[in-house]
Structure 1
Amino acid sequence: MQKQRMSGQNQKTDKRIAWPIIIMNFTGVYDYEAFAWNNKFIWLDCRHLYGTDGYCDREGALALKGMIADYPAEGVHFIDSGNYHYLTKFWTDKLETPFSLIVFDHHPDMQPPLFDNILSCGSWVKDILDHNNNCKKVIIVGSSDKLIQAVPKGYERQVRFYSETTLMHEEGWQNFSSGHINGPVYISIDKDVLNPASAATNWDQGSLSLWELEKLLAVILQKEQVVGIDICGECSTTLNLFEEKRETVMDSRANKELLRFIRSSSGLQ
């Protein structure tokens, strides 16, 4: 498979400019997902890195920041399983102007880390709010009502939730559709927000169908100035070869459809 590198310089949030598609391959799962077999995509081989799985220590963070240094936040970044969702922080740290973050995730990812000063896949949203002054608002879509209740207090003015239950009612959809965000928006998608018929992940999953997720994405892509997108939620490889093949086919299909939808809805190539 030919893997191309591209300079991130002079990339702008402009629908006339092709966004780079970046594949960050930690587990090797993308080697088996057909959607990624495109020689125009940029592949970043992360399989040799330590201190990055679930938790990201100082050495892992330095290595990852160096790896993405030449690439812009403006792009579609595939960042492997939900264990690496904290990479959204590194991508949004590259944005130099105020922005809002919209997260589609079955988990709010706002828990304090178990270890001080170590970023984790369950704490990265809180870390962005605590340390990135350019992030003015976070909107979390599709999370479990129970997990939302466990979010630490003190973020009510900065964070808005559209919970899994809220989106089951027409009023919740209407409230989401009628909203508008002033300024740039970065979108982060964890496929665990989808039901098990739409994607296979290594975390417990929500109830949205792929069609429902695209309906929500359409509201943002058509109304807001989107400055970057990342997608995670790949399923880690298992010892069951039949299940492994089924999962990679399912996730490849979901990734391919999401990428097609993002391109067609936003005008990006």
Structure 2
Amino acid sequence: MHPSVTFLNFDNTYTWQRNLLRFPHEWIDMYDIEGTNLYCDDHAMQEIEKRLARRHTRGMTLIGSGNYHYVSYVLLKQFHEPFTLVLFDHHTDMNEQTLFPLLSCGSWVSYAQKHVPTLKHVVIIGSATSYVSSHVTTFPKNDVTYAPMTIVRAIPTKHVYISIDKDVLRPQDAQTNWDQGTMSLQMLLIYIDYLFRYKHVLGVDVCGEDRTFCVKNEQANEAIIRACFKHMPISSAS
């Protein structure tokens, strides 16, 4: 991972989070692509992949609203090493789109399991429900905080990819356009720290923006970025 941020501008939420632009970054406009909100059609997917291919570095990716979380699937496709997806999300995003088999923000994880051969396991933390599968380990939200090493031990591979939807967080720490979980931002940062210490992190993405609550979300985003950057060889901008 390179210590930089790629902002994907689907919904203009990051134009209201100017403090984040102090970090080394790239800005990729996506707002003009049709067929991207909640669901992604084939034409939109091709255009998103084409624009992502122009990136100069591969660091953290900030996606925008959770409506575009399916972009994580595109990011997962670039890795050739066997890896585990570590997903912090109030939803499992493993719905099966049978009637209309389009990639969506609610189905992208199951889609990735079918189409990304190097994705060997999925660990979901903070979801409202459990998902039972030999290739999925779920740590649903409850009254007990999971020990960080419990999470680490559930990961069978050396390499991991971290995807964070801020709807996993309690409303005091972030506000999204989806129903939210109960995890504190401080606990999320601890989990991130352990993952970087004990695993090889291939990449990180973050979504869960809402323009109505930009200040709160900007603070959470900055804390997450700094938690990741402190483990990288080059320090972030001050």
**TM-score with structure 2 setting the length:** 0.91
Task: Give the structure 1 partner of residue 186 of structure 2.
Answer: 211
1:171 & 1:25 partners in 2: Cα distance? 34
Residue type of the alignment partner of 1:23: F
Aligned partner of 1:259 among 217, 225, 229: 225
RMSD across aligned C-alpha pairs, in angstroms? 2.0
2:49 & 2:230 partners in 1: Cα distance? 30
Checking the alignment, whether the CA contact within 8 Å between 1:73 and 1:227 is kept in structure 2 is: no
Structure 1 208/69 Cα, relative in aligned 2: closer, same or farther at 3 Å? same
Task: Give the structure 1 partner of residue 136 of structure 2.
Answer: 159
**The residue matched to 2:206 in structure 1 has which SS?**
strand
Task: Give the structure 2 partner of residue 127 of structure 1.
Answer: 111
Matching of residue 28 in structure 1 with residue 12 in structure 2: yes
Structure 1 39/264 Cα, relative in aligned 2: closer, same or farther at 3 Å? closer
Residue type of the alignment partner of 1:67: R
Query: Which structure: larger Rg?
Result: 1
Matching of residue 56 in structure 1 with residue 40 in structure 2: yes
Count of aligned positions: 235
Task: Give the structure 2 partner of residue 224 of structure 1.
Answer: 199
Structure 1 252/116 Cα, relative in aligned 2: closer, same or farther at 3 Å? same
Residue type of the alignment partner of 2:165: D
Structure 1 84/40 Cα, relative in aligned 2: closer, same or farther at 3 Å? same
Residue type of the alignment partner of 1:229: V
Checking the alignment, whether the CA contact within 8 Å between 2:17 and 2:218 is kept in structure 1 is: yes
Task: Give the structure 2 partner of residue 183 of structure 1.
Answer: 158
1:215 & 1:29 partners in 2: Cα distance? 26
**The residue matched to 1:37 in structure 2 has which SS?**
helix
Summarize the alignment of residues 102-113 of structure 1 with structure 2, pairs less than 5 Å apart.
102-113=86-97
2:194 & 2:81 partners in 1: Cα distance? 22
Displacement of 1:157: 1.0
**The residue matched to 2:111 in structure 1 has which SS?**
helix
User: Can you list the C-alpha shifts for 1:140-163, whole angstroms capped at 9, x where unaligned?
Assistant: 011013xx2xx5x6xx11000011
Structure 1 73/42 Cα, relative in aligned 2: closer, same or farther at 3 Å? closer
**The residue matched to 2:192 in structure 1 has which SS?**
helix
Checking the alignment, whether the CA contact within 8 Å between 1:23 and 1:36 is kept in structure 2 is: no
Task: Give the structure 1 partner of residue 31 of structure 2.
Answer: 47
Displacement of 1:179: 4.3
Displacement of 1:181: 3.8
Structure 1 52/180 Cα, relative in aligned 2: closer, same or farther at 3 Å? closer
1:182 & 1:39 partners in 2: Cα distance? 30
Displacement of 1:221: 1.1
1:138 & 1:65 partners in 2: Cα distance? 23
Structure 1 171/39 Cα, relative in aligned 2: closer, same or farther at 3 Å? closer
Which segments of 5 or more consecutive residues in structure 1 lack a partner in the other structure? 1-12, 238-243
**The residue matched to 2:150 in structure 1 has which SS?**
helix
Residue type of the alignment partner of 1:112: E
Which segments of 5 or more consecutive residues in structure 2 lack a partner in the other structure? none
2:221 & 2:77 partners in 1: Cα distance? 24
User: Can you list the C-alpha shifts for 1:197-223, whole angstroms capped at 9, x where unaligned?
Assistant: 000100000001100111111111110
